[in-house]
């Protein structure tokens, strides 16, 4: 069955996904049987398009590249313009909503309301937005379940690196007693550069220039981005409904060059570590800078890379390392959720 997709948001990730679907459509079909067409795109800044038979993705990408807006998309019979996100969810023939709007990390909105509306219309949702998963996981997963639809969020932690799907599928049967990871690329990049002698301010400016940082980098440097991600891991991998406020959080803004030098002399390296561990029936979680020994696999993770170690009762400690952000990488995280929706519909 061909998935009919509506994209909410047509920024870096939305365009990355559109490019992947365009470039790989033949290979995806022959390798996995997966077929999808984008029937709608709704973006608050760039405009919106809907065609029940599918949009011409090359033209949509060209319009945005050349003019920054979707208005330059060619006119054709059956095309509708100007629908907002809720009308796109409720009134298009899309069966799957890909939610890629800019989310307010304090409220999780408008993405939480987009999920509610889509699930009530019996439409699947796939997203890389952390807000709804970190703030409303219990409510939204139940709403998806009772409406018989799927909710995919692989890209919320470590983008296309399978930090959620790998423990749930490949490590199934283990009791995971602890998860600890480097879950924020911006701060890891900054710490790597500061260890090389760069100042905090220059390292932050460089990370922003390379596009790793959140729109408000406070979220990165004060640890809130990692706090969201460890909350998601606790809820989904450990199956314990931890709230974000339960996670003690400290960022890297107080670390000095002297701290870095001292750690070096002691054979250690500072990393912003997010961890959660079992304490009886409960899970405790925290985010903060830790000077870890160089023998720890996480100590070798440099630059903007992310990594996470799952401490399993049967398989032992398993560490997964890979990209935590990026146009293609996050585009892929959306694609793998779509492929899995397709696989379960067969
Ligand atoms: N600002 C985030 C990071 C992007 O630096 O890891 C991915 O969530």
Ligand 1 pocket: which of 220, 301, 308, 326 to mutate (most atoms <8 Å of CB)?
A: 220
Q: By the 8 A CB rule, do 298 and 180 touch? A: yes
Q: Is the CB of 333 under 6 A from ligand 1?
A: no
Q: How far is CA 46 from CA 31, 42, 94, 106, 340, in A?
A: 34, 8, 20, 25, 29
| Helical spans, DSSP H, in the chain | 12-32, 57-67, 85-91, 111-120, 130-146, 165, 185-195, 200-209, 218-221, 224-236, 257-265, 327-345
pLDDT per residue as tens digits for the range 213-229:
888 899 999 999 999 99
Position 346 confidence tier, pLDDT thresholds 50, 70, 90: low
The pLDDT of residue 165 is above 90: yes
- pLDDT at position 257 is 83
Instruction: Give the residue-averaged pLDDT of 327-337.
Output: 96
The pLDDT of residue 133 is above 90: yes
Nearest to 180 by CA among 105, 234, 130, 242: 234
Ligand 1 pocket: which of 16, 212, 224, 331 to mutate (most atoms <8 Å of CB)?
A: 212
Nearest CA to ligand 1 atom 8: 325
- pLDDT at position 102 is 85
pLDDT per residue as tens digits for the range 60-94:
999 999 999 999 999 999 999 999 999 999 999 99
Q: Tell how far the Cα of 328 is from the centroid of ligand 1, in angstroms.
A: 14
Instruction: Give the residue-averaged pLDDT of 114-139.
Output: 96
Ligand 1 pocket: which of 185, 227, 322, 330 to mutate (most atoms <8 Å of CB)?
A: 185
Catalytic machinery residues = 229
Q: By the 8 A CB rule, do 7 and 16 touch? A: no
Give me the percent of the chain exceeding a pLDDT of 90. Answer: 92
Q: Tell how far the Cα of 1 is from the centroid of ligand 1, in angstroms.
A: 34
Nearest to 151 by CA among 345, 342, 6, 337: 337
Model-level pTM greater than 0.85? yes
Query: Residues 6 or more apart from 206 whose CB is under 8 A from it?
Result: 189, 190, 193, 198
- Provide DSSP, 67-89: HSSSTTSPP-TT-EE---HHHHH
Instruction: Give the residue-averaged pLDDT of 22-26.
Output: 96
Position 297 confidence tier, pLDDT thresholds 50, 70, 90: very high
Kindly tell me the burial class for residue 92, based on how many C-beta atoms sit within 10 Å of its own C-beta (0-12, 13-18, 19 or more).
buried
Q: By the 8 A CB rule, do 190 and 255 touch? A: no
The pLDDT of residue 330 is above 90: yes
Q: By the 8 A CB rule, do 23 and 61 touch? A: no
Q: Is the CB of 222 under 6 A from ligand 1?
A: no
- pLDDT at position 108 is 92
pLDDT mean across residues, the chain: 95
Q: Is the CB of 131 under 6 A from ligand 1?
A: no
Instruction: Give the residue-averaged pLDDT of 192-217.
Output: 91
Q: Tell how far the Cα of 78 is from the centroid of ligand 1, in angstroms.
A: 39
Q: Is the CB of 155 under 6 A from ligand 1?
A: no
Q: Which domains does the chain have, with CATH numbers?
A: 2-160+327-342 (3.40.50.720), 165-322 (3.30.360.10)
Instruction: Give the residue-averaged pLDDT of 157-174.
Output: 96
Q: Is the CB of 185 under 6 A from ligand 1?
A: yes
- pLDDT at position 215 is 80
Please tell me the distance from the alpha carbon of residue 204 to that of residue 212, in angstroms, as a whole number.
Answer: 10
End-to-end CA separation in angstroms for the chain: 8
Q: By the 8 A CB rule, do 131 and 125 touch? A: no
- pLDDT at position 138 is 93
Query: Residues 6 or more apart from 230 whose CB is under 8 A from it?
Result: 179, 181, 183, 247, 274, 275, 276, 285, 287
Instruction: Give the residue-averaged pLDDT of 127-131.
Output: 93
Q: Quick check: helix, strand or coil at residue 161?
A: coil
Instruction: Give the residue-averaged pLDDT of 198-211.
Output: 92
Q: Tell how far the Cα of 146 is from the centroid of ligand 1, in angstroms.
A: 32
Q: Is the CB of 186 under 6 A from ligand 1?
A: yes
pLDDT per residue as tens digits for the range 301-325:
999 999 999 999 999 999 999 999 9
Q: Is the CB of 184 under 6 A from ligand 1?
A: yes
Scan for tokens 């949702």, then name that residue.
125
Angle among Cα 126, 302, 223 to the nearest 5 degrees reads 55
Q: What is the dihedral of CA 252, 253, 257, 259, to 10 degrees?
A: -50
């Amino acid at each position: 069955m061909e998935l009919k997709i509506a994209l909410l948001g047509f920024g870096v990730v939305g365009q990355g996904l559109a490019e992947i679907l365009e470039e790989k459509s033949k290979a995806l079909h022959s390798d996995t049987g997966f077929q999808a067409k984008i029937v709608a795109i709704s973006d608050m800044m760039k405009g919106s398009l809907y065609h029940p038979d599918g949009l011409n993705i090359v033209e949509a990408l060209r319009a945005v590249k050349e003019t920054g807006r979707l208005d330059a998309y060619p006119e054709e019979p059956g095309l509708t313009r100007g629908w907002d996100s809720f009308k796109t969810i409720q009134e298009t023939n899309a069966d799957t909503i890909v939610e890629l709007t800019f989310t307010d990390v304090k409220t999780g909105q408008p993405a939480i309301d987009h999920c509610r509306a889509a699930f009530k219309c019996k439409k699947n949702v796939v997203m890389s937005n952390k807000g709804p998963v970190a703030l409303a996981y219990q409510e939204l997963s139940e709403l998806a379940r009772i409406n018989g639809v799927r909710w995919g969020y692989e890209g919320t932690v470590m983008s296309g690196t399978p930090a959620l799907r790998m423990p749930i599928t490949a490590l199934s049967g283990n009791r995971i007693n602890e998860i600890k990871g480097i879950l924020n690329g911006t701060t890891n990049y900054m710490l790597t550069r500061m260890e090389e002698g760069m100042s905090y301010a220059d390292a932050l400016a460089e990370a922003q220039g390379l596009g790793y940082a959140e729109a408000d980098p406070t979220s990165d440097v004060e640890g809130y981005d990692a706090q969201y991600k460890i909350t998601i891991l606790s809820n989904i991998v450990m199956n314990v409904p931890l709230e974000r406020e339960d996670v003690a959080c400290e960022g890297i803004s107080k670390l000095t060059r002297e701290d870095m030098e001292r750690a070096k002399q002691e054979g250690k390296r500072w990393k912003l570590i997010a961890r959660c561990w079992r304490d009886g029936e409960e899970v405790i979680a925290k985010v903060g800078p830790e000077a870890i020994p160089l023998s720890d696999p996480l100590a070798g993770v440099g630059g903007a890379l992310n990594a996470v170690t799952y401490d399993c009762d049967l398989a032992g400690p398993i560490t997964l390392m890979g990209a935590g952000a990026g146009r293609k990488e996050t585009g892929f995280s959306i694609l793998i959720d779509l492929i899995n929706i397709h696989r379960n519909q067969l």
